[in-house]
């Protein structure tokens, strides 16, 4: 939103998502600063206006993030305090359901960051906090500090994980997630769209994200795609649905995050399919 989709297209996606019963929306203050002419908060602004127009804020679970916007970088107490107010204004709300540390900031003591988040929870501006792009070790350290000091505690984690990007999520994060009873909501669940089924050898895909899929266009990637297409055909569902079903079955995953640029793409990712043990094992082996 605010990057590859217009506000009108974004509203159509959000309307369709809501009609399907969807209520969790994930964004960040820095979305979509990278687009020429943008300054950040574009996605939050669209979501905020949509909720205002539909009058449905109380029905939505809104997650946003702090630390990666160029004008609000890092996790110092001062920055978190300023950034949350910017996000609240853009979202046209007085509270954020889940507020993420968008990336670890080792230049700031974890105690300072967690105290700042605790202050936001106490003030009612934030309900829960979570971590994104943390290593397992740093996440565990933060959890231990919260326990020792009575600070608000990270309830979940959002790192990259999908059929073709399995490490270090599986080797590093899963044990921390399970040991602490956290939820995991991996981003790039469809590997920047590569696992949606539109990519094939020799096919040129017109997409602003196409360049990000080059690393997957190899024998391993095409092998996984061939299996996904076959399984999707057998189930009568989209390729995206199969890729996300595999991800939902993995340890340390509560729900995968996937995005749609237009409403028709949403129809592909909201499909829910149950894969057999053999199908899961096949995809797991091919993606090793």
Question: Active-site residues: which are they?
Answer: 31
| Neighbour-count burial for 42-68, b at 16+ CB within 10 Å, e otherwise | bbbbbbbbbbeeeeebeebebbbbbbb
Count of Cβ atoms closer than 10 Å to residue 145 Cβ: 17
DSSP E strand stretches across 122-170: 126-132, 154-158
By 3-state DSSP, what share of the chain in percent is helix, strand and coil, each rounded to 5?
50, 15, 40
- For the record, the structure tokens of 271 come out as 């499909």
C-alpha to C-alpha distances, 72 to 29, 68, 78, nearest whole angstrom: 9, 7, 10
d(CA 286, CA 158): 24
d(CA 222, CA 213): 12
- Give, rounded to a whole angstrom, the gap between the first and last alpha carbons of the chain: 33
Q: What angle do CA 138, 39, 257 make, to 5 degrees?
A: 50
């Amino acid at each position: 939103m605010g990057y590859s989709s217009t506000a009108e297209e974004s509203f159509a996606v959000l309307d369709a998502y809501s009609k399907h019963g969807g209520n969790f929306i994930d964004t960040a203050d820095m979305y979509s600063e990278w687009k020429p002419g943008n300054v950040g908060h574009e996605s939050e602004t669209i979501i905020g206006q949509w909720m205002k127009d539909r009058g449905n804020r109380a029905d939505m679970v809104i997650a946003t993030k702090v630390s990666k916007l160029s004008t609000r970088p890092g996790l110092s107490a001062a920055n978190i305090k300023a950034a949350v107010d910017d996000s609240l204004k853009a979202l046209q709300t007085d509270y954020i359901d889940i507020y993420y540390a968008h990336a670890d900031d080792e230049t700031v003591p974890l105690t300072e960051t967690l105290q700042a988040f605790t202050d936001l929870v106490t003030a009612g501006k934030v309900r829960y906090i979570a971590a994104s792009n943390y290593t397992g070790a740093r996440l565990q350290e933060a959890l231990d500090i919260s326990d020792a000091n009575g600070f608000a505690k990270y309830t979940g984690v959002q790192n990259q994980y999908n059929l073709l990007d399995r490490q270090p999520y599986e080797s590093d994060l899963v044990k921390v997630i399970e040991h602490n009873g956290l939820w995991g909501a991996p981003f790039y669940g469809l590997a920047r769209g590569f696992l949606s089924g539109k990519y094939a050898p020799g096919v040129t895909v017109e997409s602003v994200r196409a360049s990000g899929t080059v690393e997957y266009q190899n024998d391993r990637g095409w092998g996984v795609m061939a299996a996904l297409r076959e399984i999707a055909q057998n189930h009568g569902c989209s390729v995206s649905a199969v890729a996300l079903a595999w991800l939902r079955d993995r340890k340390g995953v509560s729900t995968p995050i996937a995005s749609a640029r237009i409403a028709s793409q949403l129809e592909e990712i909201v499909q829910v399919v149950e894969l057999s043990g053999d199908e899961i094992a096949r995809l797991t082996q091919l993606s090793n």
